[in-house]
Structure 1
Amino acid sequence: MVRLPLTSEQLAAGRRLGASLRQARGSRTLADVAQASGISPETLRKIETGRMATPAFTTVAALARTLAVPIDDLAQICLAHTDLEQTG
Structure 2
Amino acid sequence: MVRLPLTPAEVERGQRLGALLRRARGARSMLEIALDARVSPETLRKIESGRVATPAFSTIAAIADVLGLSLDEVWTEISRPDGEVEPAGPARERLVS
TM-score by length of 1: 0.88
Q: Which residue of 2 aligns with 1:66?
A: 66
Q: Which residue of 2 aligns with 1:38?
A: 38
Gaps of 5+ in 1: 82-88
Q: How far, CA to CA, are the matches of 2:48 and 2:34 in structure 1?
A: 11
Q: Alignment RMSD, CA only?
A: 0.8
Q: How far, CA to CA, are the matches of 2:80 and 2:27 in structure 1?
A: 26
Amino acid aligned to 1:68: G
Q: Which residue of 1 aligns with 2:11?
A: 11
Q: For each residue in 1:32-88, what CA deviation from the matched residue of structure 2 results, as whole angstroms up to 9, or x when unmatched?
A: 00000000000000000000000000000001100001110111122223xxxxxxx
Gaps of 5+ in 2: 82-97
Higher helix share: 1
Q: Which residue of 2 aligns with 1:84?
A: none
Q: How far, CA to CA, are the matches of 1:77 and 1:6 in structure 2?
A: 19
TM-score by length of 2: 0.80
